[in-house]
Amino acid sequence: MWTIRNKLLLLCLGVVLSGFVVESLLTGVFYQRIVQLYSQERAARLATFMADVMQWWFDGDESPDPGDEDWLREELGPARSMVYHIDLDTRKYSKTPVWKSMKASLPPLDPAGLQQLADNLQESDVMCVCGAYRVATRREWKYIVQVALPLSIDRQNMAGFRQTTLLVGGIIFLLVGLLAWLLARSITRPLVELSGQARSLENNPEFLYASRQDEVGVLSRALQEGVKEVQEARARERRFLAAASHELRTPITALLVSIEQEARRSRSIEEHHQTLQRVHATALRLRELSSNLLTLVKPPSQTDLQVNLTEITASVVDELMPLAADKGLWLDFDGENLSMSGDPHALRQMVTNLMSNSIKFTQRGEVVVRLEQQDSNIELTIEDSGIGLPENHQDLFQAFTRGKGAAQLSPGSGLGLAVVQEVVQAHHGTITLKNRSAGGTLATVRLPIKEKT
């Protein structure tokens, strides 16, 4: 499984391995050049040494001791050497070496270099690679010395370098791998612990590492806030379902009781009429409740249709006019011909809920509805002379919340304003409620004419 820890480990090892390969290549080239220079310098140094020895042997006052040749061969080590005499007048070198470190008779180690120094007295040193040897040729007065070092020595040095490099590189690779694993573990351990806490969704979670100022701390605080929001949403959902179940159960129970009583015994026409009125009122309440619940569960989504809000408001006024007339209220509407982008059904429900609330909680006086354009917004105001708002009227926007004394004036579910707020927010608008100085309530809804994208 390619976890973050494994990816970090693989990344570190890949970087180290790539660096090791590049470093080995560059170091190998550099070391090979060093080996070549060292081999050339050693061959040249041995050639100079041999030239000095030859002058001491053949032109000095003292003859070499019997053990001098053995000593010289020991000094040469794996190198081979041949010494030739050169005639300075004819510039020809002797075909047979005057001294050689090998017992067998061999041709010159570097014939071209030997001839070059014999022909050109201005030059004294020549270096070349001849076959399996690196040959240094040096002319010192009337002697030409050739010293040959086997190239196998260079190869042995390079092989030793490669073995050392692989050994050291392997150790470094293992150490870095261990450090990378520890580092990856230390980086991902907080993430694993945070994910475990997030999955558990404990009550009032206090996430680890929330006080840290690095990326882990930012993630921890974000998860803590997100989990708390989820918990609050779950709590609201449970309260909503419980309240919805209660609100639905009450009218359904009343409806069933009325029907059972009606079927249990014979009744007069007037009693039948009263029962039908109760059933009708209960059915209307159920329809209103189900419509509000549906809007809360599934907010309006088609908010890009062209809607004439003036026609919708006027239609709602006509629909609720009989309800206002039954209570002796004056219902007045004044508005411009205004259109906007929105969901017609949701907007109609918003206007209906606001006007219904004003009529429900107004015992005498009037309900005035106005619709006008304010810059790029449509402003809908509904004023009434009713009982006004409680102190904590902002809580009325929560589902199944009703003001103090509202139940005594009119039955309801406490969903009206919650639905209104849901519709307004879906259309990117605002709603405010406040008490009028002369008594009653003023509700103001501002909606953009064009939907924001």
pLDDT, tens digit, for every residue of 177-202?
788 777 777 777 776 666 666 666 55
The pLDDT tens digits for 8-32 are 777 777 777 787 777 777 777 887 8
Token pair in block for residue 134:
């690196």
Query: What pLDDT is attached to residue 34?
Result: 86
Evaluate if residue 380 carries a pLDDT over 90: yes
Question: Would you list the DSSP string of 218-264?
Answer: HHHHHHHHHHHHHHHHHHHHHHHHHHHHHHHHHHHHHHHHHHHHHHH
CATH of region 299-448: 3.30.565.10
C-alpha 137/C-alpha 118 separation (Å) is 11
Is the torsion defined by CA of 70, 76, 81, 83 positive or negative?
A: negative
**Residue range 154-162: average pLDDT?**
84
Which CATH number, 1.10.287.130, 3.30.365.10, 3.20.20.150, 3.30.450.20, labels domain 201-295?
1.10.287.130
Instruction: Tell me: pLDDT of 156 over 70.
Output: yes
The residue with tokens 């309260």 is 239
Q: Which amino acid is at 195?
A: S
Both tokens of 204, joined, read 């009032």
Q: How confident is the model at residue 74 (pLDDT cuts 50, 70, 90)?
A: confident
Banded model confidence at residue 66, pLDDT cuts 50, 70, 90: low
pLDDT of residue 445: 94
> If residue 275 lies in a helix (H) or strand (E), which one and from where to where?
helix 269-297
> Is the pLDDT reported for residue 408 higher than 60?
no
pLDDT tier for residue 239 given thresholds of 50, 70 and 90: low
Task: Say if residue 429's pLDDT is above 70.
Answer: yes
Q: Can you tell me the mean pLDDT for 43-60?
A: 82
pLDDT of 215 over the 60 cut = yes
Quick one: average pLDDT of 240-261? 66
pLDDT tier for residue 280 given thresholds of 50, 70 and 90: confident
C-alpha 284/C-alpha 267 separation (Å) is 24
Per-residue pLDDT at 396: 75
Answer with the residue of higher pLDDT: 415 or 348.
348
Cβ-based neighbours of 246, under 8 Å, separated by 6 or more: none
Confidence band for 265, pLDDT divided at 50, 70 and 90: low
Q: Pick 294 or 134 by higher pLDDT.
A: 134
Residue 325 has pLDDT above 50, yes or no: yes
Q: What is the pLDDT of residue 35?
A: 84
Distance CA 108, CA 147 (A): 10
Structure tokens at 194: 């945070």
pLDDT tens column, 76-86: 889 999 888 88
Structural element, H or E, at residue 39: helix 4-58
Q: Is the pLDDT of residue 375 over 60?
A: yes
Q: What angle do CA 125, 127, 131 make, to 5 degrees?
A: 145
- Whole-angstrom distance, CA of residue 14 vs CA of residue 308: 65
For residue 402, which of 437, 348, 361, 369 has the smallest C-alpha distance?
361
Question: Token digits for 407?
Answer: 């139940």
* 30 φ/ψ sector (left φ>0, alpha ψ -120 to 50, else beta): alpha
Residue bearing tokens 């100022």 = 213
Question: Can you name the residues that pair with 445 across neighbouring β-strands?
Answer: 380, 431
Q: Does 299 score more than 60 pLDDT?
A: no
For helices 416-426 and 344-360, the axis angle rounded to 10 degrees is: 150
DSSP character string of 60-96: SSSPPPTTHHHHHHHHHTT-EEEEEEEETTTTEE-SS
Tokens describing residue 89? 């007048």
Question: Token pair of 217, please?
Answer: 């701390």
The DSSP output letter for 148 is E
For strand 143-150 and strand 330-335, is the pairing parallel, antiparallel, or unpaired?
Answer: unpaired
Q: What is the pLDDT of residue 312?
A: 93
Euclidean distance between the first and final Cα of the chain, in Å? 41
* Average pLDDT, integer, range 119-132: 87
Name the architecture of domain 4-155. 2-Layer Sandwich (3.30)
DSSP conformational letter for 361? T
Tell me how many helices (H) and strands (E) the chain has: 10, 13
Of the two residues 363 and 6, the one the predictor is more confident about is 363
On average, the pLDDT of the chain sits at 79
Whether residue 275 contacts residue 267, with contact meaning beta carbons closer than 8 Å, is answered with: yes
Q: What is the pLDDT of residue 407?
A: 47
pLDDT of 1 reads 54
- Mean pLDDT to the nearest integer, 348-356: 88
* Cβ-proximal residues to 159 (8 Å cutoff; 6+ apart), any chain: none
The ranges assigned to domains in the chain are: 4-155, 201-295, 299-448
Distance in angstroms (rounded) separating the CA atoms of residues 284 and 255: 11
Looking at per-residue confidence, does 21 or 336 come out higher? 336
pLDDT band at 207 (very low <50, low <70, confident <90, very high): low
